[in-house]
């Protein structure tokens, strides 16, 4: 199908499935075990209903906001997803160029197919990039890559905390990972890579499962970038993140790729914001969510419930794999068009107008 026949993010998934190679499709589309969490990431949004306001002057709509102090055109970012070259020969730089055109923030993964410097060099010099960190058992390696990311201008450090061991994604395991000639081994020891367990497991052996709260001061010593914990799944861990001086959390289950039947970010969000407000900590930390965001209405719902922004993963990989930069640009534009329309239809002019009273979450905990 032609690009202009894609009218929503699911259309890109449909096309990507037709055109991608099996390894790439297996790696991108899979979730852990029975994929219950992966499905719930999507359906949780359907349980939230709007409570639109009428007769508000909505001629002018302003969708701009800031995340970790950086401006962006709309409250979502391209989250970190490994192995971009399984979908497109130019890998993550495709996402970089599309993000630049649209004023969107991109999170660069530790396990990108392109080298970190290639991805930063592909940026236009004005756009914002963040860095996602998998912590190496060798802290000197971690220190070096974090400080390099800061030196090259990254504006946020996202430490992934939901993956002390990579989840079991059976679709991915079945398609057996063959070396794509990329850069992903930089974090580990090439010789020890076991390729029989799928792409994810092949590349993740260097990740340190002993990482814990006591390590947090180490990161605060080696960088001035704001630090965000990515993959928080409980209310009390959000409070701990505040106590440890973190700048943010991403309520996330890694796109349903780690612990199956882990809770969804959108489901936790209300509870988290309620607890932060009860302790008067709501201004001490920025709360993000990711997982299953496929419509701008999902973004609107999350912002209404208190998220500073949301991450979107697979849809941009699919748009990239199917159509390259123009595909990712169209995916972003579709979301912008939907977002503007949603704002008008619920009676909100600016991001600050998106408040909890605009959503009804009573259906959320009914499974």
Backbone angles phi, psi at 251, to 5 degrees: -75, 110
Asked if residue 160 lies in contact with residue 134, where contact means CB atoms within 8 angstroms, the answer is yes
> Is 132 or 197 the residue whose CB approaches ligand FNR more closely?
132
39 burial class (0-12, 13-18, 19+ CB within 10 angstroms)? middle
**For the chain, what's the residue count?**
367
Which of 162, 180, 298, 353 is catalytic? The answer is 162
What whole-number distance in Å separates Cα of residue 132 and Cα of residue 108? 6
Which of 134, 288, 318, 323 is catalytic? The answer is 134
What whole-number distance in Å separates Cα of residue 130 and Cα of residue 119? 11
Which of 27, 172, 254, 318 is catalytic? The answer is 254
Is residue 254 annotated as a catalytic residue, yes or no?
yes
Nearest approach, Cβ of residue 277 and ligand FNR (Å) = 25
In the chain, how many H helices and how many E strands?
13, 12
> Is 289 or 348 the residue whose CB approaches ligand FNR more closely?
289
Q: Which residue is nearest to ligand FNR (CB)?
A: 313
Nearest approach, Cβ of residue 108 and ligand FNR (Å) = 10
Nearest approach, Cβ of residue 169 and ligand FNR (Å) = 9
> Is 93 or 160 the residue whose CB approaches ligand FNR more closely?
160
Q: Say which residue the tokens 């991001």 belong to.
A: 351
Nearest approach, Cβ of residue 280 and ligand FNR (Å) = 29
CA distances from 10 to 90, 165, 201, 213, 304 (A): 23, 30, 27, 38, 24
> Is 141 or 281 the residue whose CB approaches ligand FNR more closely?
141
Contacts to ligand FNR by CB under 6 A: 27-28, 41, 79-82, 109, 111, 132, 160, 230, 252, 254-255, 257, 290-293, 311-314
Nearest approach, Cβ of residue 310 and ligand FNR (Å) = 9
What whole-number distance in Å separates Cα of residue 333 and Cα of residue 230? 26
> Is 132 or 348 the residue whose CB approaches ligand FNR more closely?
132
Tokens representing 113?
A: 């197919």
Catalytic residue list: 134, 162, 254
């Amino acid at each position: 199908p032609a690009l202009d026949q894609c009218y929503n993010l699911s259309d890109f998934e449909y096309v990507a499935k037709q055109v991608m190679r099996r390894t790439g499709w297996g790696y991108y589309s899979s979730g852990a075990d029975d994929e219950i969490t992966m499905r719930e990431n999507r359906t949780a949004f359907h349980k939230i209903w709007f409570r639109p306001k009428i007769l508000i002057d909505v001629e002018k709509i302003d969708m701009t906001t800031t995340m970790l102090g950086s401006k962006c055109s709309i409250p979502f970012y391209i989250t970190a997803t490994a192995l971009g070259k399984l979908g497109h020969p130019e890998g993550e730089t495709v996402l970089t160029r599309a993000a630049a055109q649209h004023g969107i923030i991109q999170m660069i993964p530790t396990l990108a197919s392109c080298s970190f410097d290639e991805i930063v060099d592909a940026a236009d010099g004005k756009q914002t990039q963040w860095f996602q960190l998998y912590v190496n058992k060798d802290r000197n390696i971690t220190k070096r890559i974090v400080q390099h990311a800061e030196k090259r201008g990254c504006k946020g450090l996202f430490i992934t905390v939901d993956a002390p061991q990579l989840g079991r994604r059976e679709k991915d395991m079945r398609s057996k990972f063959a070396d794509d000639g990329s850069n992903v081994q930089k974090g580990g020891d090439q010789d020890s890579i076991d390729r029989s367990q799928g792409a994810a497991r092949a590349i993740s052996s260097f990740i340190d499962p002993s990482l814990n709260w006591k390590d947090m001061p180490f990161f605060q010593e080696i960088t001035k970038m704001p630090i965000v914990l990515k993959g928080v799944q409980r209310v009390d861990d959000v409070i701990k993140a505040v106590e440890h001086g973190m700048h943010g959390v991403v309520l996330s289950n890694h796109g349903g790729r780690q612990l199956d039947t882990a809770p969804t970010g959108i489901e936790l969000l209300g509870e988290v914001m309620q607890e932060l407000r009860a302790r008067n900590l709501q201004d001490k930390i920025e709360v993000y969510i990711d997982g299953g965001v496929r419509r701008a209405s999902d973004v609107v719902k999350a912002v209404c419930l208190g998220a500073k922004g949301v991450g979107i993963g697979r849809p941009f990989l699919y748009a990239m794999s199917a159509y390259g930069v123009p595909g990712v640009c169209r995916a972003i534009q579709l979301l912008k068009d939907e977002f503007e329309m949603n704002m008008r239809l619920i009676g909100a002019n600016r991001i600050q107008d998106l408040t909890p009273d605009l959503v009804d979450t009573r259906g959320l905990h009914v499974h």
